[in-house]
Structure 1
Amino acid sequence: MMSRLRNLYTYLITNNAAEVDRGWLADYIEFTSEVEKVRASLKLQLDIRDKSTYAGTRFELTSDPWAAFAEHLLYKKANGISSRGQSVLSDDNFQLFIAEPNFVAALAELIRDPSRENFSKYWEVWEATRQKHRAKANPLLINRTVAACTTKVTSTVNVPDFDRVYRWLVGEGILERLSDPNAGWYDRNVQVMEMLRAAFAEELEIGETSEQLLSMFVWYLFENIENISNPFTLKKQVIKYGAPGTGKTYTAMQSTKLFFDIWRDKYPNIAPELTHLQCIKVVQFHPSYGYEDFIEGLRPELRNGQPQLALQNGVFKEFCRRAGTWEIEVHGIPSAGPQLAADWQGLTVGDLKPHIGKELKHPSWDGIGTLGDSEKVADAVPPFFFIIDEINRAELSRVLGELMFAIEYRGVKGRISTQYAQLNTKETAMLTTGAEFWFFIPHNVYIIGTMNTIDRSVESFDLALRRRFRWERADPDIDAVRLHLQKRDAEPGNGSHPWAGLADDLAQLNERIRKEEILGADYEIGHAYLMNLRYPPTLTHTEVRRSVWGDSIRPLLEEYLRGSGRAETLIPEFQKAFGF
């Protein structure tokens, strides 16, 4: 199960690096480091209210370091650890709290040693102080205090939010529930952070992650818990669209690999020989691509030395025949099969156990049969991914034909009769009922299309087709390219010739392109043009910028402006925006 946890970290943190709140991470590290300095002073027997206690922190420069530190720790809306949410301590009550000797002593002891015992004492003193001054209950602020004092607990300080993640981890078998019935938020947090430190021990040692980032990972788990519970509950057909070079196809491939790994970690005994590469197909559309390439069509073949037209399956139909193995077998169960297959989303393993090894013969059914009776069959069946690169370059109504219905209504309930249905045989058909042959798109097929909006606009899609897909815009990711180049600059020998400034150059160029009325956002330069640059590492920022411009960016802009009559004036302006 640790591999599943690592896959989730890859999904939410590593592969989503540009979306991780780097400002939060920097503030988190800074403030916990400052609390560590305060702890060192307290261990030297300095008083928490002494100015010298805050040496080396931002608070020593204030007129009252103790009050400034306490305000940041207890009162500030966002203190680098977390937001205070709806848990508010009024300014008057804050002043009363930090004037109470017992409260100050309990806080100092918690900072000096953020143990379970001192956390409990701090909680008791907070409650007594609160009741004395008739303040509202603030459990989140209490938890936030200890989270600033130690990374033994996470920054998910709101108890219901953390408990939701904890229940999910236990339910998924990633974590064992604590046996102590009195275990509270602190104890469960310590358990989770110990698990994360063990799972990422190597990354912690070499500096690829930090305890603060692992703590934030728990929050990102909370934010994404619906998606990670089953990534395949999302809409099963997606279009990624945007400017060239924004990584649409790359991220589609990356996502399918990760989602497959998540499925594999959850169901290791189902079709163990099956790999991600066996479950994915990538095709590229072009203007001459047709129905016969995608679904089925008549093609010449030699029979007894004579040329004849014969029905041959297209790439998508053949893909669906393979992905639909499980639904087809269930449909074939005598009497009950059609109804069982029609209720695919609600079908449980218990419903099918009497048929495994009999009518259900695919080897993977043995693994499915070991699952609990209440497990959903739809979750256990392997996912299959069909990626259509440059989907808008083909005449979609001609390529898809009658698939519009099957795309929206999955499974045998959405079966359709194709154009050449009457010419099918048992070798080419997907589903047979009596003398009739049918086609359907299985529930476990995920269709991802990519398109460059400059080739043809999103609006060129048939409206009926557009509503059947979820549309995800891919914009140039400046943060991603900056992070990539910063990692490159940190490698031995590269520090004297940093290239990270190229990210700002690209941002300025794209801002100028967006403002140009004959171009706009669809013509921005994608971040892929600055990834994996193959230039000598000895080149300076200025030299590599000039090379990228001449090799990649200028030719692309010239192509965009071809026939506009504006290239002569705009290219120099774009060059200036890029930094030279």
Structure 2
Amino acid sequence: MSRFCGNKNTAPILQAAQQWQEVSLLNGQSLFGFGDIWNSHTLDELVTYFVDNLNYGEGNFVQKLETQLASARPESKILCAEIMWAMLLAPSNIKPSKKRENINHILAWAGVELPENQALLGDEPLSGIGSGGTAYNNLRWKELVYAIRLFKALFSLSPDERGKLLQNGQDFAQWLETIPDNGKRQFRHMLLYLLFPDGFERIFGQGDRKKVLKSFSGLDKQEINALKASEMDEALATIRAEQVESFNTEQLDWYVPPLKAMWQDTSKSKEGTEGHSIYDTLMTFLEQAHTESLRTQDYPRSHAGLTMRISFGAGNQAHVPWIGLLSAGQTPTKGIYPVYLYYRADSLLVLAKGVSATNPPLITWETDEESQTVEQYFQTTLHKSAIRYGESYIHQVYDLSEALDKDQIDADLDELIDEYLSIVGGLPIDVKEPEPSYQSDTQTASAAPMSVDSLMSDVFIGKQDIKDILALLHNKKNIVLQGPPGVGKSFVAKKLAYALMGEKAPQRVEMVQFHQSYAYEDFVQGYRPSDSGFELKNGLFHQFCSKAAKDPNNTYVFVIDEINRGNLSKIFGELMLLIEADKRGEEWQAPLTYSKDLGERFHVPENVHLIGLMNTADRSLAMVDYALRRRFAFVDLKPEFKSEGFTRFMQERGAEQAMIATITSRMNSLNDRIAKDSANLGPGFCIGHSFFCAASDSGLYDNAWYRQIVNFEIAPLIREYWFDDPGTAQSLIDELLA
């Protein structure tokens, strides 16, 4: 019997459905006692005011529905509320309180309300039978259109015809095929189960219906997709009969063992996640997202054979921490991948079909008119833009004000991974889990040595120049790497940090980017909003110094990108004194702006070094504060097209010598022209070598690759340099492309 749902008590829900069928569907009376409202005339009004008057403008579903029904009779609004009650009867992923709120909200438009003890609005009948999924909530308007059309067609029949149809589930399912959009709507499956629980399954999501068929029917994906909804019903009924015979019991449900494991494929290898489940890892991730820790080393390296990547931010805490699962050949910057996105400020966890934003992926997710991007979800549901990752597609959304269901979490992810693997092709990669590390944060993990010689293999600076820079960083403690765009300032900064440490230890390097809105409160200390008002929180540099102070035997490096974009005196405050090389240590500790008393003091540890990065070609920036210039040593980085390192790098990438010569000669010629234009430009505006250092998508470093870089990366920069002389700009671009 299909009505078995494991430990869930479905009796109150099914009894409510039977009462609705008797009172409303057969006799046309209001379920809530408001008279004769279930009839063609009232349904015609809902078609006129809602179905034929869809609102694609601003506002959420309920707001727009209120506007659409504003001119309708009270009877039509009450009927809409009762249809909504029926639509919300089956989903278990919506709280009963939220269901009551939706129904009462619509009733209020008609100027009526229900008594608080109304049995049909109690917690038990509204507890739900199975998850409706995110699509059911996000596309509620489509489900309502379908429901109104369905009931309009049903009440176009005579009472005898309607009664006969509601006595036979198979006949009713066949009749539903005449309703537009029948094969896509979840309410269709919910309605059949509520009215005929012994003949239809409580599988409401189309994806789950197809997965069961794929696991048991022997049909391939194309054959399953070609089935009508009623044909899927018949196939599922046949499969159930076979399983009842096999297990010798009718107490079977697709979301309860033993059937659950037979189609959700929980036996597949998932090395790297404890107990073959993502749940515990996800809980740890959500908990850490509310701390200041950016550490990811203790997380599993894989799940379901896919590489697991986790980010809480780089230097700064990310607004949207994420967990990505990647197949071979896919990366977060270029590819597609299942990803959990935690929109912390909105208390939403999104399981998404991730799409790289940095570079367009070579393959794409399969989408249709029902698919919704993260941006579309935020706009329609929260009435604002998604702060990040808006291009990715929604698979599931979890409201974290409610407890997460472990089985549902695993089932949703399994479904998405199966879809992902069918797109990327092949089997999951074999990822070996590394030996666990039991070192604390302050212990130095085994790190790759980073000598001056190894550094030279990665950057194109002369050996003596590197030694001089390291000596400056060691003695002065603070340096600024300044240069034109494309000289690799951030890349060189990380390498210098590792060389200063003598090892590659990324856990002792942090990076932040200054901007016009960046403040002392972000960098050092300040009051921030909290659940209870405002509380004093330490900024990123304060946290970094505290971490370094606990580990005095190791070197720590803090990198500040775009250091000249911020108001430096405002950001550093009293740190302008404390960062000086001879003002380090506890003997120079001083109270901060927000210190409660003179006893609360702060110092910059001796093992902390700062590297600032500055783009000399940014016309919008003011001169660097002279007080800061006295505390930092300034190092010029220049384009290295003439260096042996650049030539060797391009050769190792596979570029022909003729192409290397073309790049070198043409870029040197362009930079000479820029450097000699002392009136408007100068050496600080030359164009760097890193424009040509990124890997080619095709693996070819040919003329097409070269022209693409010139046309889309360098030419816009040239036009900006000579914005008042477009003829010269175009002439220089033509010389590069000759």
Query: TM-score, structure 1 length as denominator?
Result: 0.45
Larger relative helix fraction: 1
- Asked which structure has the greater CA Rg, the reply is 2
The higher-RCO structure (CA 8 Å, 6+ apart) is 1
Query: TM-score, structure 2 length as denominator?
Result: 0.36
